[in-house]
Amino acid sequence: MIKVFVGCSVGDDLESQAVLEFSLRKHSSAPIEIVWMQQSGDPASPFYGWQTRAWSTPFSGFRFLVPALCNYEGRALYTDSDVIFRADIVQLWRQRFAPGKCVIAKGGRDAWRLCVSLWDCAAAKPHMMTPEGLKRSGSHQEMIRRFANRLTQPFVGNWNCVDGEGYKSLDDPEIKALHYSQESTQPHLRYAIPRLAREGRKHWFDGTVEKHWRPDLVALFDRTLKEAVAAGFKPENYAPAQPFGPYRIASHKKYTGHRWAS
Q: Residue 93 is inside which H or E element, if any?
A: helix 90-93
pLDDT in tens, the chain (262 residues): 999 999 999 999 999 999 999 999 999 999 999 999 999 999 999 999 999 998 999 999 999 999 999 999 999 999 999 999 999 999 999 999 999 999 999 986 557 889 999 999 999 999 999 999 899 886 777 888 888 778 999 999 999 999 999 899 999 999 999 999 999 999 999 999 999 999 999 999 999 999 999 999 999 999 999 999 999 999 999 999 887 878 999 888 877 776 543 3
Closest CA to 26 of 223, 239, 236, 238: 223
Looking at the structure of the chain, the number of domains it has is 1
CATH of the domain at 51: 3.90.550
| Distance, CA of 108 to CA of 149 (rounded, Å) | 7
| Distance, CA of 3 to CA of 13 (rounded, Å) | 21
128 contacts 142 by C-beta, under 8 angstroms = no
- Facing residues of 178 across strands? 84, 161
Domain that residue 131 falls in: 1-262
